[in-house]
Amino acid sequence: MYDEAENITFGKGMTKMTRTATLILDGKKYELPVHEGAEGEIGIDITQLRAMSGVIAYDPGYANTGSCKSAITFIDGEKGILRYRGIPIEQFIDYPNFIEAAWLLIFGRLPQKPELRRFSELLTVHAPLHEAMKHHFEGFPVNAPPMAILSAMINTLSCFDEHLARFEDDEKFEVAAAKLISKVRTIAAYSYRRSMGQPFIYPDPKLRYCANFLHMMFSMPYDQYVIDPEVEDALNLLFILHADHEQNCSTSTVRMVGSSRANLFASCAAGVCALWGPLHGGANVAVIEMLDQIHKGGLKPEECIKLAKDKNSGFKLMGFGHRIYKNFDPRARVIKSQCDKVLYKLGIHDPLLDIARKLEELALKDPYFAERKLYPNVDFYSGIIMRAIGIPLDMFTVMFAIGRLPGWVAQWKEQHDDDTMRIARPRQIYIGERKTDYTPIINR
Ligand code: ACO
């Protein structure tokens, strides 16, 4: 229960509540402070709960736990709202500049022209990898999963830039952020080249962020890849749509690792591993595999929906459902609307888009999905755009990681700058054996 009282505004976007929540346990009352966010989100503060009462909160999957206060991204999952530093995601469609969005997320406001220029220059300067790092790629098997290479190589960056683990000011942090955001693109492209047995292509300082990535992916030493501005714009938009999503699984991982004061690179390398899973970023691969199976006649859309509803099948409608969105994922809406545009401009007809539309139509009118508020998420349509711009399937989750990097960097910085930050260390409810005696091996 809440006790309503007057709120006192203090600091940026935060309200210190004079109201409290009362917990009654075994007849005893505990008053718990209540916090309210800038958009009215209410959180009961249980930081002193165990000290006061000896009990803990139980919330597996953290669906009801606010792990931090953050000013970076706002989501209203019921209304399908996503905003970066207050700016609705839809407003980036007409200005697809991933680097501007990255700076916004990390530093909290839109950059002025000189600031954007400086950051772009830093990205250019830091795009090449240390030559010694190039040899690491040769140690990976040719068919190694690119996400494994990406995580390993981001971690390896710590070996080459140890001093970047400490930041005295924002300027130093900006250099570290630029290094990571720029090099991740080079690492990603190199991992693809390695998997194809093709020579590495050095970054071209004359090219912008997305164009440079496409160049490193698809140019040959004897044949320069010609960059289509439509493709470049589509890639910018795709990265922007993935740039941050508050405390999701991979971002929480970055914060969890960073809370031990692990450096930025190590924390983001852990984020890549979390993103890899099929229930998170890996879903974009699973969606295309599912659509492809339907296309090749292995499965009918109606059967697919039936399987997804059957709890014993172990099958899920990939690209559908979200922990937070109980309405349309606004990113899916944007991507869906861009799919037609991009495919039309590139002169591509992708039958998988027709299948995706059919599946969506069937799912949206099915009570199973309606009752559970399951809608397409960002991964449902993103693969179709990636295919259109020539990205191979096993690079899809890597693309997600490149896009998400600015968000991880911003979240890591916000936590790093927060004086109240403590090491993340959840508790548990132990359900194992009670005290039992050790039995020597000969008596077992
Ligand atoms: N297909 C069929 N049923 C589903 C699906 C789905 N895609 N998603 C959820 N459900 C069902 C669950 O079985 C559950 O049913 P029940 O109430 O009868 O037990 C109900 O809907 C609620 O689902 P939860 O699993 O409790 O939802 P949760 O918040 O834990 O999981 C998740 C969210 C992981 C995204 C889930 O919807 C899912 O697995 N979707 C498919 C994978 C996917 O697309 N992941 C990408 C997410 S976006 C991102 O990470 C970028």
163: annotated active-site residue = no
What is the pLDDT at residue 339? 84
Of the candidates 161, 215, 322, 329, the residue annotated as catalytic is: 322
Measure the N-to-C terminal CA separation of the chain; round to a whole number of Å. 53
pLDDT band at 8 (very low <50, low <70, confident <90, very high): very low
Q: Which atom of ligand 1 is nearest to the CA of 322?
A: 35
Q: What is the mean pLDDT of residues 146-163?
A: 89
Residue 59 has pLDDT above 80, yes or no: yes
Q: What is the mean pLDDT of residues 65-79?
A: 96
DSSP SS3 for 33 = strand
Q: What is the pLDDT of residues 271-298, one digit of tens each?
A: 999 999 999 998 899 999 999 999 998 7
15 or 50: which carries more pLDDT confidence?
50
What is the pLDDT at residue 164? 62
Q: Which atom of ligand 1 is nearest to the CA of 329?
A: 48
Nearest-CA residue for ligand 1 atom 26 is: 323
339 lines ligand 1 (CB under 6 A): no
300 or 240: which carries more pLDDT confidence?
240
Q: Which of 3-7, 359-363, 388-392 has the lowest mean pLDDT?
A: 3-7
Tell me the CA–centroid distance for residue 259 and ligand 1, in Å. 28
What is the pLDDT at residue 7? 44
Q: What is the pLDDT of residues 222-269, one digit of tens each?
A: 999 999 998 999 999 999 999 999 999 999 999 999 999 999 999 999
Residue 60 has pLDDT above 90, yes or no: yes
Mean of the per-residue pLDDT values of the chain: 92
User: Please, which residues have CB within 8 angstroms of residue 279's CB and are 6 or more apart in sequence?
Assistant: 249
242 lines ligand 1 (CB under 6 A): no
User: Please, which residues have CB within 8 angstroms of residue 260's CB and are 6 or more apart in sequence?
Assistant: 423, 424
Nearest-CA residue for ligand 1 atom 22 is: 372
Nearest-CA residue for ligand 1 atom 16 is: 372
What is the pLDDT at residue 6? 44
Angle at 106 between CA 101 and CA 107, to 5 degrees: 100
Q: What is the pLDDT of residues 129-146, one digit of tens each?
A: 999 998 899 899 988 999
280: annotated active-site residue = no
What is the pLDDT at residue 346? 86
